[in-house]
Amino acid sequence: MRMGRALMALVVASVLAAGALAPAASARPAPGSPSPTPTPTPSPSPSSSASASSASASYERAIPPLTDDRGRALTLRGWNVEDKANRGEDALSAITERHFRDLRAGGFNFARLLVFWDDLEPRRGQYSARYLRKIERILDWARKHRVHVLIDAHQDVFGPAFGHRGIPEWATRTDGLPFTPNPDDWFSEYFQPAVQRAFTHLYEDPDLQRAQAAMWQVLAERFGRHPAVIGYDLINEPMGELREGEDLATAARRIEAEHLTPMYNRLARAVRAEDRSTWIFVEPTPIVGEGVPTGLGRIKDSRTVYAPHFYNTAMEAGADYDPDAGWIEAYEAAVTAYPARHRMPVVVGEWGPLNNALPNMGRFYREAVASLNRYSSGWAGYVWCYGGGYCAVDERGRFRTNKERTATPYAPAVAGTVRSDTYDAGTRTYRLAYRAAVRPGVTELSLPPSSRGWRVSVTGPARVLGDGVRGGWPVVVAWPGSEVVVTVREAGPYGRTDHP
């Protein structure tokens, strides 16, 4: 979801003026402490560009990696894949095999697939076999092209009762409260009384709780064993009902604590009745995008991923990136506190501005990717489609301005303990240091297409197998328990390793 049209900008600006959206406390342990559990301390001013990097070592120790069934540390890099326009018989028809073939060819290994409850269960208790088959066909394409898929139960402004997609009309209860559409600022519709009351009923009404859990059990039973599926995102960008006189930041933390936490625990139990091992992804409200610490409580499931989104209100309203505003630093400090405290991996489910060609956007992409890579096990940009607007690529499949900066070398799977994992955008150099697992395993590399070519070197008792010179997926095999350093550099035009 894209937050930040004009009205939303005014709402958040008023909260900022009141001091409610101050940068969150960052999670950092006391100096010399042997424990990886962080001790929250006040974060630096958002104007300090070093605030995030100075705390990075501490929360990196506290936030565990996402792992596969072989215990390898995973990194997911990819994009959202969606079809919001088509419904019913035509649902998901805009998604083709090309999406996954092109993702893989570009060096990406991850897709966040948007599915809609209103398509899955258009009438209460009647699930669409046709829709399930279409989801399965998409997952088969993903498997063919070796792309991990996160199934996202998406909603925008609750659902079709308000002219959007998500929760079915039969599950929408408004108590007769008013709703006035605002197509010029659709995000502001979340603050309409009818929409807010509908969220309250979804969270509190026992029959709707059971219906939502049953919907997830249908998905988990059908797709839990599909090799492409890596996780379930239980609800996209949940919102809720503000109380009179309550500022937005306070309301968000209350909704997360009182409504989202019990909902996630309830849905996790439902999923686990059908699927014991697939990762479960949970989101805070979108308000975390302004550097607000979440109010989410403990999710009682050992395979849970924290999945916030990364959008800035001013940029979503059309502004250029302001490097001096400290937004990325404030967001990083706030968003890492919760997963560090609860020992949860992080995967950012959506990010990326609409106006990606503005003067400072090159710097934004460089700094945003560096920040995301410091604390997360991956991310999905918004959105992999062929055209304008938010689309990652044009009709011919070429990256749109600055979005090529998301395609960098990385290690999709590391068979061992990662010591450091860095990418220098200036020199186009990637460096991975890790201690190989005692149990033999394969570390995978992803090198995006390059006309200059890549040079891969390794130190330690290890070998690189496979051709990644022009971009590809080589692997590293190391002696068990050894220390290994892999370095990837983009070659110069005459075979040199130079970088203008």
**Residue 450 belongs to a domain with what CATH number?**
2.60.40.1180
Cβ neighbourhood burial of 76 (10 Å; 0-12, 13-18, 19+): buried
Do 373 and 421 share a domain, yes or no?
A: no
Do 94 and 3 share a domain, yes or no?
A: yes
Q: Is the pLDDT of residue 238 over 90?
A: yes
Structural domain count, the chain: 2
What percentage of the chain exceeds 70 in pLDDT? 87
CA distance linking residue 167 with residue 237, whole number of Å: 13
Cis peptide before 383 (omega within 30 of 0): yes
Do 449 and 464 share a domain, yes or no?
A: yes
Mean pLDDT, residues 265-273? 98
**Residue 196 belongs to a domain with what CATH number?**
3.20.20.80
Total length of the chain: 500
Report if residue 54 sits inside a domain: no
Do 359 and 464 share a domain, yes or no?
A: no
Report if residue 41 sits inside a domain: no
pLDDT tens digit sequence for 318-367: 999 999 999 999 999 999 999 999 999 999 999 999 999 999 999 999 99
Do 361 and 427 share a domain, yes or no?
A: no
Report if residue 53 sits inside a domain: no
Place of tokens 């992804």: 281
Residue (of 195, 296, 282, 276) closest to 236 by Cα position = 282
Q: What is the mean pLDDT of the chain?
A: 89
pLDDT at 51: 43
Do 400 and 431 share a domain, yes or no?
A: no
Question: Quick one: pLDDT band at residue 49, thresholds 50, 70, 90?
Answer: very low
Do 163 and 229 share a domain, yes or no?
A: yes
Cβ neighbourhood burial of 233 (10 Å; 0-12, 13-18, 19+): buried
Report if residue 37 sits inside a domain: no
Query: Which backbone phi and psi does 11 adopt, to 5 degrees?
Result: -60, -50
Q: Is the pLDDT of residue 185 over 50?
A: yes
Do 362 and 433 share a domain, yes or no?
A: no
Cβ neighbourhood burial of 171 (10 Å; 0-12, 13-18, 19+): buried
pLDDT tens digit sequence for 132-145: 999 999 999 999 99
Question: Quick one: pLDDT band at residue 256, thresholds 50, 70, 90?
Answer: very high
CA distance linking residue 367 with residue 361, whole number of Å: 10
CA distance linking residue 391 with residue 376, whole number of Å: 23
Residue 346 CB partners (closer than 8 Å, separation 6+): 63, 305, 306, 307, 308, 335, 336, 339, 375, 376, 377
Check residues 272 and 493 and name the one with the higher pLDDT: 272
Mean pLDDT, residues 78-104? 98
pLDDT at 493: 56
CA distance linking residue 13 with residue 76, whole number of Å: 33
Do 412 and 402 share a domain, yes or no?
A: no
pLDDT at 290: 86
Place of tokens 């990762």: 279
What percentage of the chain exceeds 90 in pLDDT? 84
Give the predicted TM-score (pTM) of the model: 0.90
Residue (of 321, 307, 306, 314) closest to 350 by Cα position = 307
Mean pLDDT, residues 77-98? 97
Do 313 and 447 share a domain, yes or no?
A: no
Mean pLDDT, residues 201-213? 99
pLDDT at 48: 37
pLDDT at 134: 98
CA distance linking residue 297 with residue 454, whole number of Å: 44
Q: Is the pLDDT of residue 434 over 60?
A: yes
Segment among 26-40, 268-282, 310-324 with least mean pLDDT:
26-40
Mean pLDDT, residues 41-69? 60
Place of tokens 């990196």: 60
Do 222 and 299 share a domain, yes or no?
A: yes
Report if residue 24 sits inside a domain: no
Q: Is the pLDDT of residue 197 over 80?
A: yes
Residue (of 321, 370, 379) closest to 350 by Cα position = 379
Domain that holds residue 478: 408-500
pLDDT at 498: 39
pLDDT at 299: 98
Last residue of a domain, one of 354, 376, 407: 407
Question: Quick one: pLDDT band at residue 123, thresholds 50, 70, 90?
Answer: very high
Last residue of a domain, one of 407, 437, 468: 407
Report if residue 413 sits inside a domain: yes
pLDDT tens digit sequence for 394-422: 999 999 999 999 999 999 999 999 999 99
pLDDT at 57: 52
Do 401 and 424 share a domain, yes or no?
A: no
Question: Quick one: pLDDT band at residue 52, thresholds 50, 70, 90?
Answer: very low
Q: Is the pLDDT of residue 233 over 50?
A: yes
pLDDT tens digit sequence for 362-396: 999 999 999 999 999 999 999 999 999 999 999 99
pLDDT at 58: 64
Report if residue 39 sits inside a domain: no
Report if residue 478 sits inside a domain: yes
